Amino acid sequence: MIPLEPYYELSDADLDSRIHAAKATLGSACVILGHHYQREEVYKFADLTGDSLKLSRLASQRADARHIVFCGVHFMAEVADILSAPHQTVILPDMAAGCSMADMADLPRVQTAWQELGALMDVEQVMTPITYVNSMADLKAFCGAHNGVVCTSSNASKILQWAFAQREKVLFFPDQHLGRISAFNLGVPLEQMVVWDPTRKNGGISPEALRQAKVILWDGYCSVHQMFQPVHVEQFRARHPGIRVIVHPECCFEVCRMADLSGSTELIQKSVRESPPGSVWAVGTELNLVNRLKHEMPDKQIHFLCPTICMCSTMFRIDAQHLCWTLENLVAGTAVNVISVPSEVAQLAKVALDRMLSIA
């Protein structure tokens, strides 16, 4: 294996030309996927870009590529591995590119929650587990094994609608904010939602409240999107009458309710791109995406919704050095940082992912 350290001695120009050269050598045997939050030095090399759902779909459609280099975070690469063909390898350029929200729910704690709920009601009959795609593969497998499903930021309402047609209750993890706003938009009142604290017995909720709740939300959140606050929306509206506010549904309930639009990173990008010249926007999502939109569309006024910098530090771990190192190792015949979900987990996780893809 070629070591990584020397790549940090290279200039930006050298890195660029070496990445171009490695890509050219690998040709269609390698496809680079780039999530919208990736930094520009990496994003510009992506063959395909998108939000989590789009990238999962694209990964499953590129059977010609033996190697899928996923410039995103760990759970996304796991999904690509689960949905891709057995002859394909999925590579995450830096293994430390995780998602702090995904880490807020883990299988033992979700199993404990399921058992505790099972002591109060017939969970298999009354409850559907839904995991946001920002979760570990074994939680997707848990959903696959319990008639549950995966959702993403672009289809959460549709998935919830499907779940309520199957059973009366939902256990939604790990992102409480996405679960809350999506259920609320379907007409579930906030009084019928409770937040499950995984550090406490019965989630810290009384048995009576659990029996009455329609939606049990895991106490998880994205620390990046938590930074956007109602006061920021108010300030922009006061300063720029007519401004449109668009946010990611990982923002808190109040911010999503105050915004004109909320949706996935793909929807945010599309909405701003398709707006007429002169449009004024405040965008509540990760900084790299907002800066890209600003740069691409100087004919529009695009503001970052928060006065402080909200960046996803784990997405940022994928840098040009890691990308170059990954590609040159492939050229030399070594696949580094391969993401390989154990087959028993992958099979069940695929059940929940396929269910999502067929519903939405």
Count other C-beta atoms under 10 Å from residue 112's C-beta: 13
Per-residue x/- marks for ligand 13P, 77-116, CB under 6 A?
Answer: ----------------------------------------
Q: Which of 91, 99, 252, 258 is in the footprint of ligand SF4 by CB under 6 A?
A: 99
Grouping H, G, I as helix, E, B as strand and the rest as coil, residue 290 is helix
Q: How many residues make contact with ligand SF4 (CB under 6 A)?
A: 12
* Distance, CA of 61 to CA of 80 (rounded, Å): 10
Q: Which of 49, 56, 88, 265 is in the footprint of ligand 13P by CB under 6 A?
A: 265
314 counts as binding ligand SF4 under rule CB under 6 A: yes
* Distance, CA of 291 to CA of 302 (rounded, Å): 9
Burial bucket for residue 178 (CB in 10 Å: 0-12, 13-18, 19+): buried
Tokens of 100: 């702090």
Q: Among 76, 66, 77, which Cα is nearest to 340's? A: 77
Shortest distance, position 130 Cβ to ligand SF4, whole Å: 16
100 counts as binding ligand SF4 under rule CB under 6 A: yes
286 counts as binding ligand SF4 under rule CB under 6 A: yes
224 counts as binding ligand SF4 under rule CB under 6 A: yes
Contact 345, 37 (CB under 8 A): no
The entry of ligand 13P, ligand SF4, none that residue 310 binds, CB within 5 to 8 Å by partner kind: none
DSSP count for the chain of H helices, then E strands:
16, 14
User: Where do the H-state alpha helices sit in the chain?
Assistant: 12-26, 40-43, 52-61, 74-83, 107-118, 123-126, 137-145, 156-166, 176-185, 207-212, 230-239, 253-258, 265-274, 287-296, 320-331, 343-359
181 counts as binding ligand SF4 under rule CB under 6 A: no
* Distance, CA of 172 to CA of 194 (rounded, Å): 10
The entry of ligand 13P, ligand SF4, none that residue 52 binds, CB within 5 to 8 Å by partner kind: ligand 13P
The entry of ligand 13P, ligand SF4, none that residue 81 binds, CB within 5 to 8 Å by partner kind: none
264 counts as binding ligand 13P under rule CB under 6 A: yes
56 counts as binding ligand SF4 under rule CB under 6 A: no
Q: Which of 101, 160, 210, 323 is in the footprint of ligand SF4 by CB under 6 A?
A: 101
- Name beta bridge partners: 31: 68
Shortest distance, position 120 Cβ to ligand 13P, whole Å: 32
Of 131 and 329, nearer to ligand 13P (C-beta) is: 131
The entry of ligand SF4, ligand 13P, none that residue 314 binds, CB within 5 to 8 Å by partner kind: ligand SF4
The footprint of ligand 13P (CB under 6 A) covers 51-52, 134, 152-153, 222, 248, 250, 264-265
The footprint of ligand SF4 (CB under 6 A) covers 73, 99-101, 134, 222, 224, 250, 286, 312, 314-315
